[in-house]
Structure 1
């Protein structure tokens, strides 16, 4: 059948790929001039099953409350006269209950692990190059209390099948020698050897090119403005192209993969999504001394930063700002990233010329994405992946393709709202 996918980030592009593989005629609408130019453009680049712990948990809530007044804190919250923000926060508090935390962790971990396996299979199938490194992800800690809490989380994740192994400071340095200069500050860490890293923009662009060759139509500079409904079925997507012309694109089925912008598009249809934008920051540095820069993807737990080696560049990403849909750079938060990376690896990079960027992560209160059918029989969702969009992308796209085909997906998915 004819399927229209809204959005050409990593989620929309992988969705289009697997739908095409299933035999559908696929068209992708994207408001930018190319794929992966918004949230997928310059994120942390980790394929991180080890990051499956939901943000909504009792320990995380306390940490958030302590950091709300600091401009450079890992989480910055700006209270707004926005009903969606208030509803999202209330549900976040509900998701902090232990029973919900455990259920969410299981589902996130299952989708993330399926996503990593699916990515590995797709990479072998297509040969796409994207600065991939399969050297694992190393978490390091400089606070004993935080490390003790992390040990308990790592043990729980091991019980669920994620090989997140707790290690001491000496083992940290053996795995990543670039950490040796801060040996006295390290209290321990954990290592997940099966995790990976790679440039999500390069991957998505490469997959879009492969998809076009396979017959997927990508309509760039085309903004979907609303979905048209008749007799309880979506009949078309109204869009504006780059020349300001209005079009209606008709199809048999529609997939919304617009990240943070999924909720406002669907609200007029009565499909209520609890997705709120969490503005994340990244800085990309040219590596000046390869021997002084990390070669294993790292997570700095104290500052909530992830660091990934991308060829001759170092990508550092993290922090979260709940402040509406603005992508404006906050200088204080940008400088805090560079200050921390320079402290960790003073000789590794050219810190005088950082390339700062922001993107709007589509956050659900539980961190579990929406994957599946809505109240409309031909309207589907693949959105709300938060900080794990790159990790989950191929897996959630495969699950979506199974649902569209009427097959039972390999991993249980959250029932779509509305």
Structure 2
């Protein structure tokens, strides 16, 4: 079958990979000039297969007012004349219930396990170079109460078959990651998961695109989907606008919508609402010049709501959640916050003049569950809404997409 995949981030490319392996003729379309330039380009780099607590959790609610009132807090809400922004926020607050959070955790763990197996197999078989490492992860908690709540989540995940995790003291955390020596008085304890991984998302996307191109998959970069041609409830062609060549028409038998933050807008042309909102985040990427200060293990600091992951000879630092629509600006103060967090945890000596500031949008559903569905037309398939777990869930989502297409296509 001729299938167009809209989006060349990790979700779209992994979808294209498994669709191609299933025997379909695949074309990938993306507005950027190369693969992996959206949310996949410089995200947190952590692959969190075993610790998947959704953002929509009742434990978050008490802290929201404080985070919103903090001048440089990790959460920022910029009210807009947008019905969708307010509707998503109301749905998110409604999803902050224990029953919903637990069900989401179960579903995410199952999908993450499938994704882990698929990505491990891909990297092993294709010998791709993408700074993949099984580093393990420490999640640092600032006080006894937050650590207690995290312990409850660990117990629940263990009952669902999650890989081993354990609560460790600051001293035990230092034995796992000595680079935290200067920060040992700033956290009460941590959750250690030795099976977690890290990867350079942009490199992984570029490797996927290279392999797909080599195997005959067509790529249309610098191209946007302007409209869909439909007949009898099915898409028959896409109107494409290329940045240089202008408009064109591309026939197709099916479409996979995996355009991240842009997916909801494209689906709305069918009169269908996709409950996905772009959660803006920031990152910096620092060259490692002093290995004594650089962590080997991935670290998430819950006090600062910031993640750290070593990818090759660089340290990726990422954080913040802003609800401000598709705003691509990068305020200096946000980058300075990430630099300050790096110094707080791992000391000075970082070449912050070469920090490669970046921003991107995590396409998130209110519950945290991704959307894998037929929507709008009989041959339009959605693969979106993985949020901050896009890199973690992409390969499993792609495999499920192929099964969905196989079960619904005529």
> The TM-score by the shorter chain falls in which range?
over 0.9
Q: 8 Å contact 1:35–1:204 — kept in the other structure? A: yes
Q: 8 Å contact 1:370–1:383 — kept in the other structure? A: yes
Pairing of 1:210-289 with structure 2 (within 5 A): 210-289=211-290
Q: 8 Å contact 1:289–1:347 — kept in the other structure? A: no
Instruction: Report the alpha carbon displacement of residue 244 of structure 1 after superposing the two structures with TM.
Output: 4.6
Instruction: Report the alpha carbon displacement of residue 312 of structure 1 after superposing the two structures with TM.
Output: 1.5
Three-state SS of the structure 2 residue aligned to 1:102 is helix
Partner of 1:298: 299
CA distance in 2, matches of 1:165, 1:249: 52
CA distance in 1, matches of 2:354, 2:136: 28
CA distance in 2, matches of 1:374, 1:179: 47
Q: Which runs of 4+ in 1 moved over 6 A?
A: none
Cα distance, 1:246–1:407 mapped onto 2, change above 3 Å: closer
Moved more, 127-136 or 343-352: 343-352
Partner of 2:188: 187
Query: Where in structure 1 are there 5+ consecutive unaligned residues?
Result: 409-418
Per-residue deviation, residues 372-394 of structure 1 (Å, max 9, x unmatched):
22242211011111000000011
Cα distance, 1:50–1:333 mapped onto 2, change above 3 Å: farther
Per-residue deviation, residues 214-245 of structure 1 (Å, max 9, x unmatched):
11111111111222222111111111012151
Partner of 1:66: 66
Moved more, 207-216 or 152-161: 152-161
Partner of 1:415: none
Partner of 2:143: 143
Moved more, 128-137 or 47-56: 47-56
CA distance in 1, matches of 2:408, 2:154: 34
Partner of 1:207: 208
Moved more, 55-64 or 34-43: 55-64
CA distance in 1, matches of 2:228, 2:72: 39
CA distance in 2, matches of 1:292, 1:334: 20
Per-residue deviation, residues 289-309 of structure 1 (Å, max 9, x unmatched):
012210111111111111011
CA distance in 1, matches of 2:71, 2:28: 39
- How many aligned positions are there? 408
2:350 is equivalent to residue 349 of structure 1: yes
Moved more, 48-57 or 201-210: 48-57
Instruction: Report the alpha carbon displacement of residue 154 of structure 1 after superposing the two structures with TM.
Output: 1.4
Partner of 1:414: none
Per-residue deviation, residues 314-371 of structure 1 (Å, max 9, x unmatched):
1001111100101101222221111111111113521233221000110110111111
TM-score for the superposition, normalised by structure 1: 0.95
CA distance in 2, matches of 1:238, 1:64: 43
2:37 is equivalent to residue 42 of structure 1: no
Cα distance, 1:282–1:51 mapped onto 2, change above 3 Å: farther
Q: 8 Å contact 1:3–1:251 — kept in the other structure? A: yes
Three-state SS of the structure 1 residue aligned to 2:363 is strand
Pairing of 1:8-27 with structure 2 (within 5 A): 8-27=8-27
Per-residue deviation, residues 54-90 of structure 1 (Å, max 9, x unmatched):
1111111222222112232111111111011111011
Per-residue deviation, residues 151-200 of structure 1 (Å, max 9, x unmatched):
11111111112223212222211111111222233311011111100101
Q: 8 Å contact 1:277–1:322 — kept in the other structure? A: yes
